[in-house]
Amino acid sequence: MKQRKVYGLALGWGAYNYTFFLLLTWLPSYLSVSLHVDLLHSVFYTSVPWLFATFTDLLVGGWLVDSLIQRGFNANRVRQTVLVAGTAFGLAIFGAASAHSPAAALVWISLALGGLAAAAPVAWTVPSLIAPRESVGTLAGAVNLCGQIAAISAPIVTGYIVSGTHSFAAAFVTATVILLLGIAGYIFLLGHIEPIPEPRETLSFS
11-41 residue pLDDT tens:
999 999 999 999 999 999 999 989 989 877 7
Instruction: Please check the confidence at residue 76 and state whether its pLDDT lies above 50.
Output: yes
Residue 195 lies in a domain: no
Q: Could you count the other beta carbons within 10 Å of the beta carbon of residue 45?
A: 21
Residue 49 lies in a domain: yes
Q: Are 127 and 27 in contact (CB under 8 A)?
A: no
Can you tell me the mean pLDDT for 133-151? 93
Can you tell me the mean pLDDT for 165-181? 97
pLDDT band at 202 (very low <50, low <70, confident <90, very high): very low
Residue 177 lies in a domain: yes
Q: Give residue 30's domain range.
A: 4-190
Residue 20 lies in a domain: yes
Instruction: Check residue 166 and give left, alpha or beta (phi > 0: left; psi -120 to 50: alpha).
Output: left
* pTM, 2 dp: 0.92
CA distance 196 to 147: 21
CA distance 5 to 149: 19
Instruction: Please check the confidence at residue 205 and state whether its pLDDT lies above 50.
Output: no
Residue 40 lies in a domain: yes
| CATH code of the domain containing 158 | 1.20.1250.20
pLDDT averaged over the chain? 93
Interhelix angle for 136-165 vs 169-184, to 10°? 150
Q: Number of structural domains, the chain?
A: 1
pLDDT band at 199 (very low <50, low <70, confident <90, very high): low
Residue 88 lies in a domain: yes
Residue 204 lies in a domain: no
Can you tell me the mean pLDDT for 84-98? 96
Residue 203, pLDDT score: 43
Residue 200 lies in a domain: no
Instruction: Please check the confidence at residue 78 and state whether its pLDDT lies above 60.
Output: yes
